[in-house]
Amino acid sequence: MGRKGEETRGRLLDATQDLIETGGYFGAGLNQVTAASGMPRGSLYFHFPGGKDQMVAEALRRGGREIGLAVQELAERAPDTVALVNGVIGLLADRLEASGWRKGCPVATVALEMAAANDTLQQVCAEVYASWEAPLRDRLAAEGRPDADDVATAVLALVEGALLLARAHRSREPLDRAARTVATLLRT
């Protein structure tokens, strides 16, 4: 694919990613994607012959990779798991607040809407969440936690829930509380 084709595909994915994160699967209709991207409908079908589900799956993976890379970078720099989780929470809180409380988790809305009804999108959501859990689990295991799998899942669930509450309240406070709770949990 040439440079122009990559740019077109990128614009379609940018629009899809933004729309699914702010409005979910149903907020990212094909008309909304073409309008937000400025691309013609034919380009959408050319780049995503599998239709909307292919486009949404790729946008989810893309958004998941962006957060995943940030988590991995934090994992490499953080002196301990508490610092890692605080860094992740800070990153997500900044992102949420900067978006006017519209962009929490790039996966959660679609996971809530579609995981029970769409096997393809459920699998993509599961893969993304697993990729976020891995660096945390690895860090916990390296620190000698025999319950690394359980704690990594609990921390991710706590952060995801705090993102939802922060978005609903339009406040960082739920995330700040989650950070304090994670610190307590990890020090026990």
In a domain, 83, yes or no: yes
For the stretch 94-121, pLDDT in tens is 999 999 999 989 999 999 999 899 999 9
N-terminal to C-terminal alpha carbon distance within the chain: 52
Predicted structure pTM score:
0.91
Alpha-carbon distance 132 to 153, whole Å?
10
- Please check whether residue 75 lies inside any domain of the structure: yes
Question: In the numeric block, which tokens belong to residue 95?
Answer: 């992102």
Q: Which residues constitute the domain of residue 145?
A: 56-186
Say if 18 falls within a structural domain.
no
Segment 28-50, tens digit of pLDDT:
999 999 999 999 999 999 999 99
Number of structural domains, the chain?
1
Examine residue 162 and state whether it is found in any structural domain, yes or no: yes
What does the alpha-carbon distance between residue 34 and residue 41 come to, in Å, rounded to a whole number? 6
Say if 166 falls within a structural domain: yes
Asked whether residue 29 is domain-assigned, the answer is: no
Residue 13 covered by a domain: no
For position 152, which CATH number holds? 1.10.357.10
Identify whether 32 is part of a domain: no
Q: What is the pLDDT of residues 76-99, one digit of tens each?
A: 999 999 999 999 999 999 999 999
